[in-house]
Amino acid sequence: MPFVMIKSVRLVNFFSFGDCTIELEPDLNVLVGVNGSGKSNLLRAFQLLKAGINGRLQEQVAQWGGLNSIHPKNLVRPIIHRQIEVAFTLSVDVIGPWKDGYEDDIVYRIVLLGNANDFTVDEVVERPDGQRYFDSLGGSIFASAIAIVERTGITRRKLGNGKELLVPTLAFEEAFGESSFIRFHLGGLDVYKAFNTIEEAPMRTAVRATGIDKLLPNGDNVFQVLNVTSLKSAPDYDAIEAGLQDVNEQFQRFRMNVYGQGSVEFYLQEKGLDTPIHAAQVSDGTLCYLCLLVALYQPERGRVTVFDEPERNLHPDMLVELGKQLEKASKRRQIILTTHAPGLLNQFPLRAVRVFEKDEYNQTQVRQFTEADFAGWYEEFAPGQMWRDGALGGNRY
């Protein structure tokens, strides 16, 4: 298995979560549950992290409607305890060892405080026992190469306005130099929710040959990234072509027409056709699957990739190949995805499944299982069928 990138996520007062810790597998993590059970809210935690590392935390909070929209709507916890917290436990394989010799896991906590009209963000980087390397209060920071517990009387420096994350901005020369590693490893986080394949979508029209090297969340630049992949990594480009051939036996290769000031049009060459098929005529499902392949094989891929219902627009017969691609990719990075497709869920081991349900307070709870939990129940463990049978929960009926 690969190293663990994010070992767990703790969410406190974050949308449908009261106080819940979700343990993650080092390779594949498959989230299931009915609509409204909270799967997308876990994905929002990764969106918040991604936005914060890119300097867009305030923009993301505003897009969600402010803190009042993020707070759970129940009254289980007293108002004085309703600060919003998102905490990621990171593997030492990613960060350390630290300058003080510490070689175990690190917790990176993001705390949002405020009201409907304003907020501040505090950050903490600490060991699980509470010894801290870094914290910020309203933009004033404490940073140390040696973890400490008692911070009374420590000197702080004002670095920000308390609206954006500071750990990703600290220079390597700072006392807290490990922040550079946190930014490097978490900054590559990829989150893909839905690909834009409508008739007027940019991916169906002529595009510049090069541009942003990483696939955009909506896939608009998929053919630009495909072209960059062909230039930077022939094996990955070949893997994308082979992956498309696995679900479309007529597909042979990509073609492109270069014209004007570096603009290109992309085509799919299929067997038995005198001329290739322009991207404008390619089916939604084929384009969505191509976006998934590019997300998995692009040279600038991150160490954590998140997909929201990757089965969208795909024929059920494609889900077996999609499962193979996701499993293969998970040997090189951590994959987290939601799904409502039993056919896709069947491709994964039971240990990878996380079942999302609401409790009596309408808060999200997450369960996980192993094959030992069902010893003697099944001759073969097919998580998709077990889920539909009701053995795992996460169903309406």
Domains held by the chain: number:
2
Identity of the amino acid at 320 = V
pLDDT (tens digit per residue) in 185-233: 777 899 999 999 999 999 998 877 777 889 999 999 999 999 999 999 9
Residue that terminates a domain, selected from 229, 250, 282: 282
Q: Tell me the mean pLDDT in the region 143-161.
A: 74
Alpha carbon distances (Å) from 201 to 91, 171, 226, 283, 284: 39, 39, 16, 12, 11
Q: Is the overall model pTM greater than 0.75, yes or no?
A: yes
Q: Is 80 part of any domain?
A: yes
Residue holding tokens 């309703």? 82
pLDDT (tens digit per residue) in 306-349: 999 999 999 999 999 999 999 999 999 999 999 999 899 989 98
Confidence of residue 394 (pLDDT cuts 50, 70, 90): low
Residue 65 structural domain: 6-187
352: tokens are 């990878």
Residue that terminates a domain, selected from 218, 250, 282: 282
Q: Which pLDDT does position 2 carry in this prediction?
A: 43
Q: Which pLDDT does position 376 carry in this prediction?
A: 46
Same domain, 131 and 269: no
Residue 246 has pLDDT above 60, yes or no: yes
Closest CA to 37 of 22, 52, 57: 22
Higher pLDDT pick, 94 / 308: 308
Same domain, 122 and 20: yes
Q: Tell me the mean pLDDT in the region 249-255.
A: 92
Q: Which pLDDT does position 108 carry in this prediction?
A: 93
Residue that terminates a domain, selected from 187, 210, 237: 187
Q: Is 248 part of any domain?
A: yes
Q: Which pLDDT does position 383 carry in this prediction?
A: 73
pLDDT (tens digit per residue) in 339-384: 999 899 989 988 999 999 999 999 999 998 876 666 545 556 677 7
382: tokens are 């097919």
Q: Which pLDDT does position 323 carry in this prediction?
A: 96
Q: Which pLDDT does position 370 carry in this prediction?
A: 74
Residue 4 has pLDDT above 70, yes or no: no
Q: Tell me the mean pLDDT in the region 4-22.
A: 93
Same domain, 126 and 157: yes
Confidence of residue 149 (pLDDT cuts 50, 70, 90): low
pLDDT (tens digit per residue) in 134-148: 888 888 888 777 777
Same domain, 24 and 149: yes
Q: Tell me the mean pLDDT in the region 55-65.
A: 94
Q: Which pLDDT does position 98 carry in this prediction?
A: 73
Same domain, 143 and 230: no
Alpha carbon distances (Å) from 262 to 166, 208, 224: 38, 6, 11
Residues 90, 381 contacting (CB under 8 angstroms)? no
Same domain, 236 and 154: no
Give the CATH number for residue 157: 3.40.50
Same domain, 63 and 87: yes
Q: Is 387 part of any domain?
A: no
CA distance 274 to 205: 21
Q: Is 298 part of any domain?
A: no
Same domain, 209 and 74: no
Same domain, 118 and 261: no
